[in-house]
Structure 1
Amino acid sequence: MRLHGVGRRYRVGGPWVLRGVDLELRPGTLVRIDGANGGGKSTLLRLIAGIDAPGAGRITGRPRTAYVPERFPGALPFTALGYLTHLGRIQGLRRGPAATAAGHWLERFGAAGTADVPLAELSKGGCQKVAVAQALLADPDLLVLDEAWTGLDHRAGAELDRVVAERVADGCTVVFVDHDPRRLAGAQDAAYRVEDGGLVPAAGPAGGGAGAACAAAGPRTVVEVVGPPGAALPDDLPGRPDRGPAPEGGLRLTVASACSDALLRALLTARPPWHVRSVGGPPADGGAGEPAGGGPGGSRTGSEGR
């Protein structure tokens, strides 16, 4: 997706909030946007998400997109589950899968107990969990987060960190604004700052992307693989796993559990595919990992490439 000389103002003849913005957003990247309050960050995110149209320039190649706004309109005539199911239907899911996805995301963010609570009766944090959940229902290819962590409790905020790692590892582009400079620090592939209506590269660490985001995403998973004769391990594997020899031959790949499903897909769809001998948790004694269901995909042993 590209922004070509994009500008935005809110009335004819009014001042330009943004002007001449050029930006490329590649699949599988994490992009942070910073800037002063009122400087145009939210305006830029709304343009990226397709909520607003540019007044100058053009935007090309926008993929399937989901957006978490800075303010969620909680006073809507739905329960939490009803609203999410409705949004899932709008995003193209059938009613059953939409309700299942809604329940999954409410549970994941610790809000399963609010499923039947009207939105108007939810706390700010409860509404924010619904706002985040609605953006994840249909596995978007571009996820735009405008202060999405604000109002979330520590557990839900950490879960959103893990979700970001999962989505980036799975090839999604994630663009975010957050008031906390430590949020996903060092994990972004690129960071920009909105200044005087333009967009400039921001100082600070970048280049971590899916690997760095996954590294901070919690538990680790060990995948033991055997490659086809003479085949090299694919480059740029999701999660950037640590590599080492397996006790019985082959390779041992250690990756954040948030990225393990994306890693398995990459191995099994490589040409030629790799044989996955086992998937498990990291061994306490340095030996072979015991098969376990700690990763997102659960326990797998002896999976054949397909």
Structure 2
Amino acid sequence: MRPDLYLQNAGRRYGLRGPWVLRGVDLTVAPGRLVRVEGANGSGKSTLLRLLAGIDAPSEGRVTGRPRTAYVPERFPPALPFTAAGYLTHLGTVHGLTRAAAARAAGEWLERLGAAAYAGTPMARLSKGSSQKVAVAQALLGEPELLVLDEAWTGLDTEARAELERAVAERTTAGGSVVFVDHDPRRLAGLPDATYAVRDGSLVERASAEPVPSGPQVTIEVQGPPDGRLPAQVHASVSSAEETSPGRYRLAVPAPHSDVVLRALLTARPPWHVASVVQREDTPGSRP
């Protein structure tokens, strides 16, 4: 298993005498964790994410335990001398994939994000939304151990936003970690393992608050094997799990994560029996 990522007394400023953007930051990101970062505009959120992603080095302190990392920046440069598929294939080889595997992964992610029709389009001619889909795809095609997302949902259409949420669930279920910033407080509401706020150049962990409405939910009724214990991957992706009778559970799952939960249940050994799957209206979500 990959090591934890540590920021130890990390600080960052630009220029030898520039003001400190961040200082005294201590943060541990363990495998399988989903971490949300909040803060006002200009507070240093993006600087923190750049430190985590290895884009910037700390001006003081250190970062240790570097996993394989992929990053979706707040602003993605679209005017690159590639087609969408060509750029993704090139990035896939940088991530260590063979060219054939990189081309295959590029096609799969463009399809998942609804951008397959633009595979042969030069990057400079892509719309902002399509360019953002390529930005997301380049981070996901190498199956990173740490995924860093800086306002990655901005500019995506509804289907692509849901697909990115599904990809986040897949990464954490597979043991990867995800750190994200998003302006929408409902984004992945109820699911982060920890939420931090950047304030006055410092990082503080936010105490658990009242649940935030989390968007469309799916109720899944399942019957388990004799031991009746839900797979760990399921616990990582549900809003709540209620045991209604021995070995039988009612799961509340954010709609974008339902495929991940169902796959984990049906591929468990022994598999779980799925009794029903029902879409329901928005409800507040909370972790079990």
Q: Same fold (TM over 0.5)?
A: yes
TM-score, scaled relative to structure 2: 0.81
Q: Which residue of 1 aligns with 2:234?
A: 239
Q: Radius of gyration: which is bigger?
A: 1
Quick one: distance in 2 between partners of 1:245 and 1:257? 24
Question: Is it true that 1:282 corresponds to 2:276 in the alignment?
Answer: yes
Quick one: distance in 2 between partners of 1:191 and 1:206? 13
Identify if the C-alpha distance between structure 1 residues 207 and 180 changes in structure 2 by more than 3 Å, giving closer, same or farther. closer
Quick one: distance in 1 between partners of 2:141 and 2:220? 25
Q: Is the 8 A contact 2:219 2:277 kept in 1?
A: no
Tell me, what secondary structure is at the counterpart of 1:179? coil
Quick one: distance in 2 between partners of 1:219 and 1:90? 38
| 260, 263, 274: which one aligns with 2:262 | 260
Deviation readout 1:8-50 (Å, 9 max, x if unpaired): 1111122111110001112111111111111110000000011
Unaligned runs of 5+ in 2: 279-288
Q: Give the partner amino acid of 1:257.
A: D
Q: Which residue of 1 aligns with 2:282?
A: none
RMSD, aligned α-carbons:
2.9
Deviation readout 1:113-169 (Å, 9 max, x if unpaired): 000000000000000000000000011111100000111111111221222122222
Q: Is the 8 A contact 1:220 1:281 kept in 2?
A: no
Question: Is it true that 1:196 corresponds to 2:200 in the alignment?
Answer: yes
Quick one: distance in 1 between partners of 2:119 and 2:143? 21
TM-score, scaled relative to structure 1: 0.77
Aligned residues: 264
Shift of 1:233: 4.8
Tell me, what secondary structure is at the counterpart of 1:155? helix
Q: Which moved more, 1:144-153 or 1:237-246?
A: 237-246
Q: Is the 8 A contact 1:7 1:55 kept in 2?
A: yes
Identify if the C-alpha distance between structure 1 residues 78 and 233 changes in structure 2 by more than 3 Å, giving closer, same or farther. same
Shift of 1:193: 0.8
| 81, 84, 90: which one aligns with 1:80 | 84
Deviation readout 1:31-83 (Å, 9 max, x if unpaired): 11111111110000000011111111111112111100011110001000110
Quick one: distance in 2 between partners of 1:168 and 1:88? 21
Unaligned runs of 5+ in 1: 268-273, 285-306
Tell me, what secondary structure is at the counterpart of 2:168? helix
Shift of 1:225: 5.3
Quick one: distance in 2 between partners of 1:92 and 1:38? 35
Identify if the C-alpha distance between structure 1 residues 206 and 20 changes in structure 2 by more than 3 Å, giving closer, same or farther. farther
Q: Give the partner amino acid of 1:238.
A: Q
Quick one: distance in 1 between partners of 2:28 and 2:229? 25
Question: Is it true that 1:181 corresponds to 2:185 in the alignment?
Answer: yes
| 136, 139, 148: which one aligns with 1:135 | 139
1:1-306 counterparts in 2 under 5 A?
A: 1-205=5-209, 226=225, 232-233=227-228, 237-240=232-235, 242=241, 256-263=258-265, 267=268, 274-276=269-271, 282=276
Quick one: distance in 2 between partners of 1:83 and 1:144? 20
Identify if the C-alpha distance between structure 1 residues 237 and 277 changes in structure 2 by more than 3 Å, giving closer, same or farther. closer
Shift of 1:224: 5.9
Q: Is the 8 A contact 2:189 2:211 kept in 1?
A: no
Shift of 1:245: 7.0
Q: Which residue of 2 aligns with 1:291?
A: none
Identify if the C-alpha distance between structure 1 residues 257 and 32 changes in structure 2 by more than 3 Å, giving closer, same or farther. same
Identify if the C-alpha distance between structure 1 residues 223 and 65 changes in structure 2 by more than 3 Å, giving closer, same or farther. farther
Q: Give the partner amino acid of 1:89.
A: T
Q: Is the 8 A contact 2:43 2:199 kept in 1?
A: yes
Quick one: distance in 2 between partners of 1:35 and 1:103? 35
Q: Give the partner amino acid of 1:275.
A: P
Q: Is the 8 A contact 1:103 1:112 kept in 2?
A: yes
Structure of greater relative contact order (alpha carbons < 8 Å, 6+ residues apart):
2
